[in-house]
Amino acid sequence: MIKMKDLIQDFPHQLQESLNITQQYKISIDRTITNVVICGLGGSGIGGELIKEWVRPHVKVPVEICHSYTLPGYVSKSTLIIACSYSGNTEETLSAIDEALNIGALIIGVSSGGTLTEKLEMHNFTTIKVPGGLPPRSALAYPLVQVLEVFEQGDLLRKSLKEDISISAHLLQDQQEAIIQEAKSILSDLGERRLLLYSEDTFKPVLLRTCQQLNENSKELAFFNVIPEMNHNEIVGWAKPTDNLLTVFVRSDEELSRNEKRLDLTHGVISEKAATRIVQAKGQGIIQKSLFAIHLFDWLSLFRSEENGVDVVEVNVIDYLKAELAK
């Protein structure tokens, strides 16, 4: 029986194992690439969102994420499609891949098997095989590192970023107990409230991942927004106090000076209206800090599931939707 606690605790090891997988293959890109589209949904898709943000300062071509059945209209034979489906059977991703095959785009898959692997092998495209049998949300390390490796081997970056993954694996292992204790402290502050997260936009994928984990693991809603965008709209919604939210600000020394000031001011406004807390992301650089925050909030989602008395693994409503759509 799968124990989510063991899978969350194993995240640092999964990162290192995924780095080891990158040494087992070589990717050949036989054409000039003018743009990249990463296709994936849910636990398979969030890795693409993280990679897009991490490579943003270093990437040589535009990158877009596709969480849809259809591809952007600019996709062409010079587009690299990275198809992420942990099971290999995500219908939206398979639909997008059929479109990519018709266009003649270059496709590289990341999957544990399934229809995606069969389809790409049939058309002589590479699929990077990752370990299977896990809930996709607990297998983040595998597609995450492999997508980054595609960028690295494809010479699409101006510098290598993999060392940050290795450092993060050691950091998370060393900090595991402190991370667990901080997660429990956040849980205590949360009480009966819902979680609302704010950060600089660089951490947007981390906040999205956190909400997804609260949704699936804890079986409850959670919300987020980012600076500076929320300063142009959502901040006005704080006109009245509320007892229903714990607002967590995810902070780091990576913040742009103007966003740092915005976050300070925004925290001042909201702290007069609701309960707030600051989480400081640890590590050097955006990758290490992102993985630190992800690990922290994964633990929070586990402890929240225990507090809520729910089965952390079950996703019956997703299974129902898939079954109905398959009819």
Q: pLDDT tens for residues 53-107? A: 999 999 999 999 999 999 999 999 999 999 999 999 999 999 999 999 999 999 9
The total domain count for the chain is 2
pLDDT attached to residue 159: 95
Beta-ladder partners of 194:
245
Question: Both 229 and 96 in a single domain?
Answer: no
pLDDT for residue 2 is more than 90: no
The three-class DSSP label of residue 71 is coil
User: Is residue 327 in a domain?
Assistant: no
Question: Both 184 and 149 in a single domain?
Answer: no
Closest alpha carbon to 93 in 124, 58, 65: 65
DSSP secondary structure letter of residue 5: H
CA distances from 94 to 2, 81, 99, 149, 306 (A): 27, 12, 9, 22, 35
Q: Sort 67 into a burial class: Cβ within 10 Å, 0-12 / 13-18 / 19+.
A: middle
What confidence tens digit (pLDDT) does each residue in 152-190 have?
Answer: 999 999 999 999 999 999 999 999 999 999 999 999 999
Beta-ladder partners of 198:
225, 249
User: Is residue 232 in a domain?
Assistant: yes
pLDDT attached to residue 186: 98
At which residue do the structure tokens 């997508």 appear? 147
pLDDT attached to residue 101: 98
pLDDT attached to residue 327: 84
What confidence tens digit (pLDDT) does each residue in 99-132 have?
Answer: 999 999 999 999 999 999 999 999 999 999 999 9
Residue 138 has phi, psi (to 5 degrees) of -100, 10
Q: Is the dihedral of CA 178, 182, 188, 191 positive or negative?
A: negative
Question: Both 128 and 257 in a single domain?
Answer: no
Query: Which CATH number fits the domain that encloses residue 199?
Result: 3.40.50.10490
Q: Which two tokens stand for residue 42?
A: 């849910």
Residue 197: Cβ within 10 Å count: 25
Parallel/antiparallel/unpaired status of strands 222-227 and 126-129? unpaired
Residue range(s) defining the domain that contains residue 103? 4-165
> What share of the chain has pLDDT > 90, as a percent?
96
Q: Are 196 and 210 in contact (CB under 8 A)?
A: no
Question: Both 264 and 222 in a single domain?
Answer: yes
pLDDT for residue 262 is more than 70: yes
What confidence tens digit (pLDDT) does each residue in 38-55 have?
Answer: 999 999 999 999 999 999
Question: Both 36 and 180 in a single domain?
Answer: no
pLDDT attached to residue 16: 97
> What share of the chain has pLDDT > 70, as a percent?
100
| Cα gap 107→216, rounded to integer Å | 30
User: Is residue 112 in a domain?
Assistant: yes
Where among 109, 134, 165 does a domain terminate? 165
Question: Both 241 and 157 in a single domain?
Answer: no
pLDDT for residue 28 is more than 90: no
Question: Both 158 and 180 in a single domain?
Answer: no
Question: Both 73 and 185 in a single domain?
Answer: no
- Tallying the residues shown for the chain, one arrives at 327
**Mean pLDDT throughout 21-45?**
94
Question: Both 180 and 282 in a single domain?
Answer: yes
Where among 117, 147, 165 does a domain terminate? 165
Packing angle of the helix pair 141-153, 162-174 (nearest 10 deg) = 150
What is the per-residue burial (b if ≥16 Cβ within 10 Å, else e) of 304-313? bbeeeeeebb
pLDDT attached to residue 30: 87
Question: Both 192 and 290 in a single domain?
Answer: yes
The reported pTM is 0.96
Question: Both 102 and 141 in a single domain?
Answer: yes
| Cα gap 19→313, rounded to integer Å | 26
Where among 143, 165, 187 does a domain terminate? 165
pLDDT attached to residue 1: 60
**Mean pLDDT throughout 9-22?**
97
pLDDT attached to residue 326: 87
Question: Both 101 and 181 in a single domain?
Answer: no
User: Is residue 297 in a domain?
Assistant: yes
pLDDT for residue 142 is more than 80: yes
What confidence tens digit (pLDDT) does each residue in 201-237 have?
Answer: 999 999 999 999 999 999 999 999 999 999 999 999 9
